[in-house]
Every structure is written in structure tokens, then in C-alpha cells.
Amino acid sequence: MIDSILNYLNNGGAITFFVLGLLSIYLVLTIWIFSYKYMSLTALVNNEKKSLESLINRGMGINPLSSLSRCVSPEGTTSKEILGACEISLIREASTGISWLSIVSSTSPFVGLFGTVVGILESFSKFSTQSKVSFSVIAPAISEALVATAAGIFVAIFAYTFHQLITRKIYEFDTYLKAQTKILVAKG
């Protein structure tokens, strides 16, 4: 396995290294964004869940740990419009940065495909100097070129999955915010 990777890198050109380097950056960026956003959103969701429970069960005011607490007046009253605007602002803040996950998931297969096409073109240019080329010569060259597409799809799978998980967390956060807003408006 390691010999295959080293052979691939040894035979690869500048485009191969560029494509694999870019896909490596994409993967690191994807993992970093996911880790950071998932942990921060989990904390936000937990705070909003506790705040909603205290509003429902204890009949108390908004929990100071809630993100909505900065939008509620000290007397505990706030208009529906102010709470709605605050909710929109909080969702915008929570969703900052996740567009990168969708960008990576949609572009990485194309980056990999670009590497494959260039690899195949390089292989064909090498074959043009030979009078007879057999399948046993073409197959390894083509399979090496397909590694870039596989790498692009690999990165895209993680980016898309992480994007969906983060989007779900934002939905949970929004649901708790909406529920608290409705209770606060009803309490007047």
C-alpha cells in the first residue's frame, strides 16, 4: 500500500501535487469548521434547552445563559418584533462559516476530476511516443489518474455530511429560540 502511494507520488506531476495539496487543505478546513461549529452549537443548544425548560416548568423568566437574554428588557418584557429580530440575528451568527462546507462539498469532486483529466492527458502524451501500447501499460496509468477523483469524492463526502449535521444543529437551536420567543410574547 505504501509502495503504491510512493510510486503514485513519484510518477505524479505538478498538477497532481497541486490537486492533492488543495484537497488536503479542503479536508483540514472541513474538519476544523465542523469541530468548531459542532461544539459551539452543541453548547448553544444545551443552554437554550435549559432555558426553555425553566420557562415551561418553573414559570421563571429567561435564563441568563440563553442567547435571547440579551434581547429581553430587565423587567422581562420585550416586544414580539424585537425578539424576532434578535432570533434572526442569533441564527445568522450561528450559521456563519457553514457555507464553506457546502463550497467544499460541491467543488472538491471537480478539483479531483481536473486532476484525473490532466493525469490522463499526461499518460496519453507519454504513450504517443510508443509505437504499440497494450492494455497492461494503459491500465496502471489510468488508475493512477483516477486517484485524484477518488480523493475529491472522499473530501466531498465528509464536507457534505458535516454540513448536514451542522444544519441540523442550527435547526435545533432555532427551534428552541422560537419556542422561548412564543412563551415570552405570551407572558407579555
Provide the residue range defining the domain that includes 164.
2-187
Total domains present in the chain:
1
Rounded to whole angstroms, the Cα distance separating 143 from 127 reads 15
pLDDT at position 41 is 95
Mean pLDDT by 10 residues, the chain (188 residues): 68 80 94 96 93 80 80 72 90 93 95 90 80 76 83 95 96 93 81
Phi, psi dihedrals of residue 186, rounded to the nearest 5°:
-65, -35
